[in-house]
Amino acid sequence: MTITIQRGEVVEVARGSQRRRAVPGMGLLDSLGVVWKHWRESFRQNRDFSDIHGTFTEQYPDERPNLPEAYRNMPILLFDDETGHEFCTSCFQCQRICPPQVIHMTQAKDTTTGKAVPSVAEFIIEYDACMSCGFCAEVCPFDAIKMDHHFELSTSDHASLTVHKQELNRPVSYYQSIAPTLWEEAKAGAYKKLQGNIKRRPDVIGIAPHLVDRIAARRAELAAAAAAAPPPPPTAPAAPPAAAPPAEARKLTPEEKAAKLAAIKAANTAKQSGATPAETPPAAAELSPAEAKAAKLAAIRAANTAKQAGTVPAAEVPPAPVDEKAAKLAAIRAANAAKQAGTAPAAEVPPAEPAPVDEKAAKLAAIRAANAAKKAAAEDNETERN
- Calculate the alpha carbon distances from 59 to 44, 64, 66, 178, 373 in Å: 14, 8, 12, 21, 113
For residue 35, which amino acid is it?
V
The answer to whether the beta carbons of residues 349 and 315 sit under 8 Å apart is no
- Calculate the alpha carbon distances from 289 to 15, 223, 296, 357 in Å: 118, 45, 10, 14
Phi first, then psi: what are they for 346, rounded to 5°? -65, -20
CB of 43 to other proteins, least distance (A): 7
Q: Which is nearer to other proteins, 22 or 320 (CB)?
A: 22
8 touches other proteins (CB under 8 A): yes
Interacting residues with other proteins between 44 and 63 (CB under 8 A): 46, 52-57, 59
Q: CA 79 to CA 215: how far, in whole Å?
A: 13
CB of 68 to other proteins, least distance (A): 21
Report the candidate in 42, 43, 46 with the shortest Cα–Cα distance to residue 56: 46
CB of 59 to other proteins, least distance (A): 8
Q: Which is nearer to other proteins, 57 or 181 (CB)?
A: 57
Q: CA 45 to CA 56: how far, in whole Å?
A: 7
Taking CB under 8 A as the binding criterion, the range among 41-49, 153-161, 199-207, 351-359 that sits at the site for other proteins is: 41-49
Q: Which is nearer to other proteins, 53 or 375 (CB)?
A: 53
Among 20, 38, 199, 293, which residue sits at the site for other proteins (rule: CB under 8 A)? 38
The answer to whether the beta carbons of residues 278 and 355 sit under 8 Å apart is no
Q: Which is nearer to other proteins, 22 or 283 (CB)?
A: 22
Among 1, 3, 5, 10, which residue sits at the site for other proteins (rule: CB under 8 A)? 10
Q: Which is nearer to other proteins, 23 or 188 (CB)?
A: 23
Q: CA 207 to CA 215: how far, in whole Å?
A: 7
36 touches other proteins (CB under 8 A): yes
Taking CB under 8 A as the binding criterion, the range among 19-27, 105-113, 150-158, 292-300 that sits at the site for other proteins is: 19-27
Report the candidate in 187, 161, 162 with the shortest Cα–Cα distance to residue 173: 187
Which residues here bind other proteins, judged by CB under 8 A? Answer: 8, 10, 12, 22-25, 28, 31-32, 34-36, 38-39, 42-43, 46, 52-57, 59
